[in-house]
Structure 1
Amino acid sequence: MKKISIVYWSGTGNTEVMAQAISKGAQDNSEVKLVKVEDANKEDILDADAVAIGCPSMGAEELESEYMEPFIASFENIDLNGKPMILFGSYDWGDGQWMKEWDERMKDYGANILQEGLITHLSPEDEDIHKCEEIGKKLSNI
């Protein structure tokens, strides 16, 4: 059975809703670990067969600085060796530049980014939840 890790940070709950929907989509075919980034460790990423990482846009379209940024930065000198990965998160304003930069950053760290990061404006709507569930299915069928 595939091991899927979903690591996320959520301030308002929007990104957490997305993480839960990804988990739901992956549960039928995989062992899913859903963990808040403040409780995560590198092994949650390195030991998984596929990974989803979620964080909303903060400030000037940046990752959350207290937990998510240091967690992501900890992989800078670790080759992720083609780890299948999809990024996700919500935003209030901007055009999603933080997600584009995050996708590129994780590619630079060696991740195999399976699709453009999924972003939702504020609270995920039904269509967004469906897209999240599809991400879960995609990760579990790699």
Structure 2
Amino acid sequence: MRKVAVVYWSGTGNTEAMAAAVAEGIREKGAEAALFTATEFDASMVDDFDAIAFGCPSMGAEQLEESEFEPMFSACGPKLQGKKIALFGSYGWGDGEWMRNWEETCAADGAVLACESVICNDAPDDDAEAACRSLGAALAE
């Protein structure tokens, strides 16, 4: 059985709701989903999983959350070479620049993006939740 980690940071609950939908999509495909907040996950855990979904909202000037998520993700970067991952998150302003920058960072780390990243404005609607389930399913395959 494939093991997939869903690692996220959420300030308002929007990205947490997206993480739950990602985990649901993983389980629907028969894989094991393990949910972690950014403070519960670290680079030493990367090799324990077949794939990882990372979720973080846009913060400040379209960037990853700086105190908990970004340091954890940066520490994981060197271990993502060849790892199947997917990205998701919510935003309240801007045009998704933080996600494009994040995808570029992942590509530079050699990570394998399993599918198109999922972003939504504010709380996830039905379409965003369905996209999150599909993202999870892609990681479970």
- For this structure pair, what is the TM-score category when the shorter chain's length is used for normalisation? over 0.9
Q: Does 1:69 align with 2:70?
A: yes
Q: Which has the higher helix share?
A: 2
- Give the match for residue 37 of structure 2: 36
- Give the match for residue 125 of structure 1: 125
Q: Does 1:54 align with 2:55?
A: yes
Listed one character per residue, the Cα deviations across residues 80-116 of structure 1 (whole Å, up to 9, x for unaligned) are 2311111000000001000000011011112101233
- Give the match for residue 110 of structure 1: 110
CA distance in 2, matches of 1:18, 1:114: 17
SS at match of 1:136: helix
Q: CA deviation at 1:33?
A: 0.7
Runs of 4+ in 1 over 4 A off after TM superposition: none
TM-score when normalising by structure 1: 0.94
- The one-letter code matched in structure 2 to 1:95 is D
Gap runs ≥5 in structure 2:
none
CA distance in 2, matches of 1:42, 1:33: 15
Q: CA deviation at 1:47?
A: 1.8
CA distance in 2, matches of 1:125, 1:11: 18
Q: Does structure 1 retain, via aligned residues, the 8 Å contact 2:42–2:76?
A: no
Provide the aligned C-alpha RMSD in A. Answer: 1.1
CA distance in 2, matches of 1:34, 1:127: 22
Residues 82-97 of structure 1: pairs in structure 2 closer than 5 A: 82-97=82-97
TM-score when normalising by structure 2: 0.94
